[in-house]
């Protein structure tokens, strides 16, 4: 699955798999080493036009728990929102990274 936009798009088996994965991730948090190697060597770029501290932090923590290098980009600072297009965020990130 590449994108999840609605729970209506999931089958019962997929929902059960998500809950099983969540339970496994919960168990990881009780270990001494709380990281998984799933994204080791990968970079995750979180791009938000308007973010909250809780949202940004949640995404950053999730990436780090999966051993990713995490870059947070606030596009409202990088680009004026009025001038932003679908392509603009990608161009902006290519300048930053």
What CATH class is the domain 35-97?
alpha beta
Domain-wise residue ranges, the chain: 1-34, 35-97
Tell me the per-residue pLDDT of 18-44, one tens digit each, with 9 for 90 and over: 899 888 888 888 888 878 888 899 998
Smallest CA-to-CA distance from 45 within 66, 28, 63 is with: 63
CA 88 to the chain's CA centroid: 20
Pick out the chain residues at pLDDT < 70: 1-3, 51, 76-97
The pTM for the full model equals 0.57
């Amino acid at each position: 699955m590449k994108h999840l936009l609605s729970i209506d798009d999931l089958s019962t088996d997929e929902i059960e798999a998500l809950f099983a994965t969540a339970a496994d991730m919960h168990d990881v948090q009780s270990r001494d080493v709380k990281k998984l190697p799933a994204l080791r060597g990968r970079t995750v770029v979180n791009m938000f036009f308007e973010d909250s501290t809780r949202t940004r932090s949640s995404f950053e923590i999730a990436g780090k728990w999966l051993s990713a290098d995490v870059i947070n980009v606030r596009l409202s600072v990088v680009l004026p929102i009025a001038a932003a297009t679908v392509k603009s965020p990608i161009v902006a990130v290519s300048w930053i990274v």
